[in-house]
């Protein structure tokens, strides 16, 4: 099953944290977030049943984002959508057939460590 292009109508940014090292002292400065990718996505809040299941598994997930498959998306990254920042909760899930069509990413609003 592939995802229909028309459902991917939300533009999101996937960002990764970069720690800059001072060239003189060698100390790490404040980490910054840099663009990893701008992609089209389907952004949807979790249903009440999904929220209850997430709480039972002690997950903070409040939404789901589906994108076309993209290698390198990690739980340490974040997503920016309509000016709001979302943390990635857990490992992005590949589609069950080929594993190369789309990724489903559980997200929660806000950033946990940055």
77 vs 110, which has greater pLDDT? 77
Query: Domain spans of the chain?
Result: 5-109
The mean pLDDT value for 93-101 works out to 90
d(CA 94, CA 113): 25
Residue 53, pLDDT score? 66
Which of 25, 87, 95 is CA-nearest to residue 66? Answer: 95
Phi, psi angles (nearest 5°) of residue 97: -85, -75
Q: Is the pLDDT of residue 56 over 80?
A: no
- The band of 25, judged by pLDDT with boundaries at 50, 70 and 90, is confident
- The band of 92, judged by pLDDT with boundaries at 50, 70 and 90, is very high
Paired tokens of 78: 């974040």
Residue 61, pLDDT score? 78
Q: Is the pLDDT of residue 5 over 90?
A: no
One of 2.30.30.40, 2.40.10.270, 2.60.120.650, 2.60.40.10 is the CATH number of 5-109, namely 2.40.10.270
The mean pLDDT value for 33-45 works out to 95
d(CA 1, CA 95): 8
Answer for the pair 10, 45: CB distance below 8 angstroms, yes or no: no
Q: Is the pLDDT of residue 57 over 70?
A: no
Paired tokens of 97: 């057939």
């Amino acid at each position: 099953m592939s995802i229909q292009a028309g459902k991917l109508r939300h533009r999101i940014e996937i960002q990764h944290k970069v720690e800059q090292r001072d060239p003189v002292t060698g100390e790490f400065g404040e980490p910054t977030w840099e663009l990893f990718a701008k992609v089209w996505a389907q952004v949807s809040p979790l249903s009440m049943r999904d929220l209850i299941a997430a709480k039972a598994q002690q997950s903070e997930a409040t939404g789901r984002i589906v994108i076309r498959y993209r290698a390198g998306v990690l739980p340490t990254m974040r997503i920016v959508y309509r000016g709001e920042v979302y943390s990635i909760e857990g490992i992005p899930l590949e589609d069950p057939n080929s594993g190369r069509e789309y990724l489903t990413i559980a997200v929660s609003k806000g950033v946990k460590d940055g």
